[in-house]
Amino acid sequence: MSLIIDNISFSYGDREILNGLSLEVPAGTTNAVVAPSGSGKSTLLRIIAGLLTPSAGSIILDGKELSRVPTHLRSIGMVFQDNQLFPHLNVYDNVMFGLRMAKTEKTIAAKRCSDLLHLVGLTHAAQQSVVTLSGGESKRVALARALAPSPRLLLLDEPLIGLDNELHDRLAHDLQRILHATSTTALLVTHSIPEAEIISDSIHRLQAPIDSVQDGEEK
Amino acid sequence: MVGHRLEMKIRSVRFFVIPAAILVFVTAVIPLIVLATSVIDKADIFSIWAKSPVRRALVFSLWQALLSTASTIFIGVIATWYLSRYQFLGRRTFIALVTVPFVLPTVAVGAAFIAVLPKALHHSTLAIVLAHIFFNISIVVRTVSPRWNSIDDQLIDSARTLGASPLQTWRHVIMPLGKNAIFSATALTFFMCFTSYGIITILGGPGLATVDIEIYRRAVQLGDLSGATVLAIAQMLLIAITFLLWSRSRSTELVLFRAQAISHRRLSLVPKCFFLALAAFFTVPLLALLAASLRTRDSWSLNGWKVFLGIQKQRGIDFNMWQAIQTSAKYALIASCIALPTGIAATYALSNRRSSHSRLSAFVILPLAISPVVIGLAILITYDFQPFDFRSSWLLIPVVHAAIALPFVMRSALPVVEGIPNDLRSAASTLGAGPWRRFLTVELPLLKPAISTGLAFSLAMSLGEFGATSFLTRRESRTIPIIIASLFGKAGDIPRTTGMAASLVLIISTAMIVLAIDRKSHT
């Protein structure tokens, strides 16, 4: 399940965010893109997920060009910076969401769901409302939820931002362990090199474009 | 000691509910008790349902309300989705266009639909349903859009990355997040349509009478007070149940959302056409009203306007329009002066203390759950004999209007009052402001949006009120809606065109008042 990013460009109006970016993520590995904020990291992930359309270039997953495939059919999971858990669903149902969308058979889905909750260490919180979770717990739920439908590729957008130091390190190691255990092909973007070193197998550096934009304005 | 003083303060705030409670007692509780105990002939409790006009009214009320509610919710939900998630040219104007009709005078809107529809449809279910949609879409937009407005775009993105198709995203994310609000809107719309009175007075006809119309007919035309009362109480029970469901769903609403600015997605062609059609739906009846006020059977003429303005006399039309305008304006001002302070004080008393006060709050909101026609009937019966000779006082009607506006004032004030952080009050106290200083310098300025919205609501409600007023009105002090209804009850071109002119003036002045006051509060 390898990912090839071929010569991707993107701009908002006349502001160029990405210019001819190319990158390859071999199957079963975790790669990191490290760059300062405002360099278009999130934009890159959103393009890969199909949430944004690039102005040029192509995304190839397993030899198949994705430009005409809508987001929900790409089988690309994503862990968002602020998790984006569904507030109307409990922990269990959040993790089940993708399996329900794929109409996975009920017993298989339930098994998969409890396996993942076990993997991220949240079995006890299955019936809890997601609005009561701590930052670290929310991140684990977001990870389990993204992994549940067995995506061909997992995207992680600054997964450890905003967590306190101790939790940050622990979760970084957990992430590395979980991604390995599930042998998921993953692409991580972060501004922190130490974090990338813990989680990923190889690291790419991305330079900020001259006229950089703030993360907030990208949306 | 400090704890004790705090306790005292909380208790004293509670007393703020007293004026509202008195208002509700005088205009709803006492009259309803009198109504239920004094005039019912026990035989009627069972026999009334065998009468065919009653059965027809029940069936018609129910089915037109179901049809109206379903259409309103369907169109309203689509409109709300685009209004709360998309940016497009004229969006703000459109929001005003969609949200104002709710407070427009019912009889005048009925007249507008007479003006726009071909004659064959003047007294038809279709006309009634269309007018109900016109009115009640704003309920959907007002209740549901705050919910959907606050959904983070990325939450929807995350559903998509989990494999949810656009349809699945709607079903599993967007609808569940709006569910409670949609449910509230459905209950309120159903209530409004079921007890529709002003619109049916104009657009109804043989076989097209609601329970409210039947209550009026029994009480006023047939003199069957007992039968009318049985119907009124049965209807009240039905509405109380709907209302209970409504308030229950409100209390479970999710509030843990991050507020966010509207995204800049553009509308595609289909929703653009939808909005064009909807804009036409909201504006064409008013243009038709203008045209109809100038049109007699075969020529254009200003006669309707001349009669309206009192320049020309017409046999059979004996009102003085200027006097009616004065009466309407006077009632609206007095009703607002009562409803606004009473409502805001009561909101203060009830906010932040939901659990112990929910029963009390239901009690103040009670008039919302009772149709104005029933209130009118109950008051007519209660205060008609000594010792309560309230009936002959000219203050009666504005007081009743205030009671009808009260729940709306409170509904618009509640989020504002609850939005004032307690720490802000404490901060003012630590800076040396006593309770009154604190209220005047900190809370009152923050309450401004609640005051202006409440003022807009109570003025508009009073200007357009028809249900209760139709029972209580006196010859010398008729309001504009009463005169419009009587004009449409007369045969001939001149009364009709005069009625159209009066409707147009009433609609435009109400809309302008609401827009001017409500707008100002947001800038």
- pLDDT 10s digits, B161-188: 999 999 999 999 999 998 888 988 888 8
Token pair belonging to A156: 């992680």
- How much of chain B exceeds pLDDT 70, in percent? 87
Neighbouring C-beta atoms of residue B330, cutoff 10 Å: 16
Residue A66 lies in a domain: yes
Q: What is the mean pLDDT of chain B?
A: 83
Residue A177 lies in a domain: no
Q: What is the mean pLDDT of chain A?
A: 87
- Split at pLDDT 50, 70, 90, the class of B32 is confident
B417/B425 Cα distance (integer angstroms): 12
> Poorest-confidence range of A126-140, B252-266, B374-388, B469-483?
B252-266
Q: Chain B residue closest to A142 (CA)? A: B158
- Termini Cα distance of chain B: 43
Burial (Cβ within 10 Å: 0-12, 13-18, ≥19) of residue B439: middle
Mean pLDDT confidence for A32-47: 88
β-bridge partners, B300: B295
> Poorest-confidence range of A78-87, A165-174, B155-164?
A165-174
A5/B144 Cα distance (integer angstroms): 41
- pLDDT, residue A138, reads 92
- pLDDT, residue B252, reads 37
- Split at pLDDT 50, 70, 90, the class of A217 is very low
* Residue ranges of E strands in chain A: 3-12, 15-25, 30-34, 56-61, 64-65, 76-79, 153-157, 186-190, 202-205
Greater pLDDT, B263 or A205: A205
B523/B446 Cα distance (integer angstroms): 13
CA distances from A83 to A93, A156, B442 (A): 15, 10, 37
B365/B347 Cα distance (integer angstroms): 11
Query: In the sheet that A202-205 helps form, which strands lie side by side, from edge to edge?
Result: A76-79, A153-157, A186-190, A30-34, A202-205
Question: Which residue from A77, A82, A89 is facing B161, i.e. has the nearest CB?
Answer: A77
Distance from the Cα of B73 to chain A's closest Cα (Å) equals: 22
Question: Is the ipTM of this structure higher than 0.90?
Answer: no
Greater pLDDT, B21 or B9: B21
Query: Which helix (H) or strand (E) covers residue B264, if one does?
Result: none
B478/B475 Cα distance (integer angstroms): 6
Q: Which residues of A touch B (CB under 8 A)?
A: 46, 49-51, 70-78, 80, 82, 84, 86-89, 97-98, 100-102, 131, 145-146, 148-149, 155, 219
- pLDDT, residue B223, reads 85
Is B16-34+42-291+299-522 in CATH node 2.60.120.330?
no
Mean pLDDT confidence for B267-291: 89
- pLDDT, residue B112, reads 93
Most confident of A85-94, A175-184, B203-212: A85-94
B45/B233 Cα distance (integer angstroms): 10
- pLDDT, residue B476, reads 78
Contact across the interface for A88 and B168, Cβ inside 8 Å: no
- pLDDT, residue A78, reads 93
Token pair belonging to B510: 């109400």
A22/B520 Cα distance (integer angstroms): 53
> Which residue reads 């001349």 in tokens?
B306
Please name which of B472, B454, B361, B474 lies closest in space to residue B402, comparing C-alpha atoms: B454
β-bridge partners, A202: A31
- pLDDT, residue A218, reads 38
| Integer Rg of chain A from CA | 17
- pLDDT, residue A61, reads 92
Q: Residues of A with CB below 8 A from B173's CB?
A: 86
Q: Does B261 touch chain A (CB under 8 A)?
A: no
Residues in chain A, how many?
A: 219
> Which residue reads 């109504």 in tokens?
B35
B441/B420 Cα distance (integer angstroms): 13
Contact across the interface for B164 and A101, Cβ inside 8 Å: yes
Residue A48 has pLDDT above 50, yes or no: yes
In contact, A72 and A101? CB cutoff 8 Å: yes
Residue B106 has pLDDT above 50, yes or no: yes
- pLDDT, residue A165, reads 80
> Helices B52-85 and B269-293: crossing angle, nearest 10°?
130
DSSP A48: H
Residue B262 has pLDDT above 60, yes or no: no
- pLDDT, residue A210, reads 41
Q: Tell me the pTM.
A: 0.82
> Poorest-confidence range of B182-191, B230-239, B355-364, B489-498?
B355-364
In contact, A209 and A19? CB cutoff 8 Å: yes
Q: Chain B residue closest to A153 (CA)? A: B161
Would you give the distance in Å from CA B157 to the centre of its chain?
37
- Termini Cα distance of chain A: 29
Distance from the Cα of B418 to chain A's closest Cα (Å) equals: 21
Question: Which residue from A97, A131, A155 is facing B162, i.e. has the nearest CB?
Answer: A97
Q: Does B155 touch chain A (CB under 8 A)?
A: yes
Residue B249 has pLDDT above 60, yes or no: no
A-interface mutation test, from B153, B158, B167, B182, most A Cβ less than 10 A away: B158
Please name which of B164, B181, B163 lies closest in space to residue B173, comparing C-alpha atoms: B164
Mean pLDDT confidence for B49-63: 90
Q: Chain B residue closest to A48 (CA)? A: B161
A87/B257 Cα distance (integer angstroms): 8
Mean pLDDT confidence for A106-122: 92
> Which residue reads 């004009």 in tokens?
B487
Distance from the Cα of A34 to chain B's closest Cα (Å) equals: 22
Give the HSE-up count for residue B295: Cα atoms under 13 Å, Cβ half-sphere.
10
- pLDDT, residue A187, reads 94
β-bridge partners, A58: A6
Please name which of A96, A176, A76, A91 lies closest in space to residue A141, comparing C-alpha atoms: A91
Neighbouring C-beta atoms of residue B177, cutoff 10 Å: 22
Q: Does B262 touch chain A (CB under 8 A)?
A: no
Question: Which residue from A88, A101, A149 is facing B177, i.e. has the nearest CB?
Answer: A88
A55/A5 Cα distance (integer angstroms): 13
> Which residue reads 């609609």 in tokens?
B507
Q: Is the dihedral of CA B471, B475, B480, B483 positive or negative?
A: positive
Task: Enumerate the H helices of B52-174 as residue ranges.
Answer: 52-85, 91-99, 106-116, 125-149, 153-161, 166-169
Residue B231 has pLDDT above 80, yes or no: yes
Taking only the tens place, the pLDDT of each residue in B299-336 is 888 888 888 887 777 777 777 788 889 999 999 999 99
Contact across the interface for B154 and A73, Cβ inside 8 Å: no
Phi, psi of A51 (to 5 degrees): -85, -20
Residue A130 lies in a domain: no
Phi, psi of B448 (to 5 degrees): -50, -50
Domain ranges of chain B: 16-34+42-291+299-522
Q: Which CATH number does the domain housing residue A55 bear?
A: 3.40.50.300
Most confident of A26-30, A159-163, B183-187: A26-30
- How much of chain B exceeds pLDDT 90, in percent? 28
> Poorest-confidence range of A23-37, A119-133, B114-128, B228-242?
B228-242
- pLDDT, residue A219, reads 34
Distance from the Cα of A101 to chain B's closest Cα (Å) equals: 5
Token pair belonging to B332: 């609206």
Distance from the Cα of A17 to chain B's closest Cα (Å) equals: 18
DSSP B302: S
Q: Does B206 touch chain A (CB under 8 A)?
A: no
Greater pLDDT, B385 or B134: B134
Taking only the tens place, the pLDDT of each residue in B373-428 is 888 888 888 887 656 566 777 888 999 999 989 888 887 787 778 777 777 777 77
> Which residues form the domain of A59?
1-75+189-219
- pLDDT, residue B137, reads 92
- Split at pLDDT 50, 70, 90, the class of B364 is low
- Split at pLDDT 50, 70, 90, the class of B259 is very low
- pLDDT, residue B7, reads 46
A44/A18 Cα distance (integer angstroms): 8
- pLDDT, residue A33, reads 92
Quick one: chain B helix, strand, coil %, rounded to 5? 80, 0, 20
Distance from the Cα of B264 to chain A's closest Cα (Å) equals: 9
Let me know the angle formed at the C-alpha of B215 by B223 and B136, rounded to the nearest 5 degrees.
155
Peptide bond into B407 cis (omega under 30): no
- pLDDT, residue A1, reads 67
Contact across the interface for A146 and B155, Cβ inside 8 Å: no
CA distances from B208 to B57, B63, B121, B127, B485 (A): 7, 11, 12, 11, 16
**Domain total for chain A?**
1
Neighbouring C-beta atoms of residue B221, cutoff 10 Å: 8
Q: Residues of A with CB below 8 A from B163's CB?
A: 72-73, 75, 98, 101-102, 149
> Which residue reads 């009478």 in tokens?
B209
Residue A28 lies in a domain: yes
Residue B11 has pLDDT above 90, yes or no: no
